[in-house]
Structure 1
């Protein structure tokens, strides 16, 4: 009889060991042409060549075999907006007008628990369909939106991070709290959800424009009281946004300094966008260990600007970077589509962003940005068995291109990141459980 605690996934297995130093860095990853990932109780028990590991499995252990596919750690999305699933593809505005015209209207609907629960089902269906097994999400100002988000993640066995947006000004009354209420409701969510299974709460002031100094101070107090929590917010996305922050906080020495003054920078702080940072701000990001989250499809769609990866990682070597979809400013739930647009952005800036660097960020790099290195983003023993199975021949164009690639792993990864989308995701596993299979 099969041991129900065990299952295994067989195919070509790829996992990263260190940040790649550009194309051709074979020391940065481990690759098995015929590999096996053995799962026990939701975590990886062993990984390696298939033949010897198959001989060690308990009798009857299920083996899901994908002989032509590539098995990687599940994708990780460190900046996405749960209430914006129906804002995606909204026409014709830049950031501040886009928020007022579309986003704030939509987010008010998440005061309704039934609507929040319905959208949570769609949201997690899309994540799984696109191979994303962990995300760090902004929910709405309403605690019920956070409850719906975590409840659906828990039901599926997926490990998620997220938080209630804190906004006490410059938003419709139905979307504003107060400094005290934002603090109290976040505290209650921490008690209810943080550390419950795989779920993690993040401190979430939307951005400096929608939070008073009092609310940012309250967020800083939460940070001091709960130093294990992540902080997520936005920084230097749009030039008009930066000017508005300068008017609202004239005493601060720039946008980043606003957050710095309230104790919101640091190794567990993720700042979406960071397009227009000054040299001094990049240095300060590096000094504090703060993470800049590159959101290419959103930056292009809303017309915010081009994030310069080379400046971030070369001119400021210690600056930490992640990559994310930023749905619904971003135009796809797919990390593959996100990497494709990221490559094009870097091309415009004169930098050849390699497939190794891109896939590292989408897996192990983003895990490190979330403080979860070794737990997710890797196919090493002890990690959660979050996997994505990728098919580089999923479409006629991809198959035609792959016919000219003879066993070149990096070329295959580049095909996946430039031509792939949800159709290239053959299967997704969360803690060893199949949560999506392409029909």
Structure 2
């Protein structure tokens, strides 16, 4: 029987319709305002870190005209993007624990008074948008760090847009629930200790911590030995991971390869021997990708500012960098003037003392401090000084 239940009384059966669940039917220690408030606070911190660092990452990779991403400190992008991904990892178990704690509230009947009904519907709508947006962000984010994209939309644009939806819904939800949350955090609700509440909170916090430790090795080198689920171990050609190989990019370096430097009113060409003959500089710089992984290596090459000065090109302007890979999304990138002028922005010819492997951008690549990995253009063929 699916919609009715039978109860035997005094030798006869009485058919009784099951009533809808009510919040008071859920008496477990996890289903209380103090637990929900604390989980909401932790989740808010994780979401806040994700959102702020995500905005910084988006601005660094696709800077608006008014924004300038600095070149120092050299580890800035590595830190912000690492925090972004790890905060998202921590948010997954916290979100599941929060939903488990509050799901009995779904069975609360809407109030009949129009004024209270409007607030109730606003709260439910904000929860719906928040949960859907949060799951979208977290699930697609996990696929992104695994470099798997089983969808047709452009991940960075969709991830950025839905993040604003999530934060907007979160602010509405916090505004609606603020009185209850403040009372719960202040200890005015459910003053009597209930066995199991602290254990549930400890389990949620512990699970989030384990999730972070299990993956943090991708961006924190000294945690790689304990990060069993890290998606990048720091290994790869010449000790540096690779996202896109030369084969995948269809790169064929011509025998007569040369670097073309172009500026308003001038042009110069250099071959690999010319670049090698110029004064070289070695810098220990990180390469950090949007997936959250990062690695540090010793890069050797010609500072871009010195190269421009050597051929008579202006040095205080942005530079468009073009790759032999002409069809990719990141076949070109623009070095802002601040990065062009930084002596650690190199046209790299070597990594860790060895000539660049094809997968690292042979014959030369850009490596600049505090810059997203997708903009560290490989297989460089042209530098164009912009007016």
Between Structure 1 and Structure 2, the one with more strand by share is 1
Category of TM-score, reference length = shorter chain: under 0.3
Higher helix share: 2
Q: Structure 1 length normalisation: TM-score?
A: 0.23
Q: Which has the larger radius of gyration?
A: 2
The TM-score with structure 2 as length reference comes to: 0.26
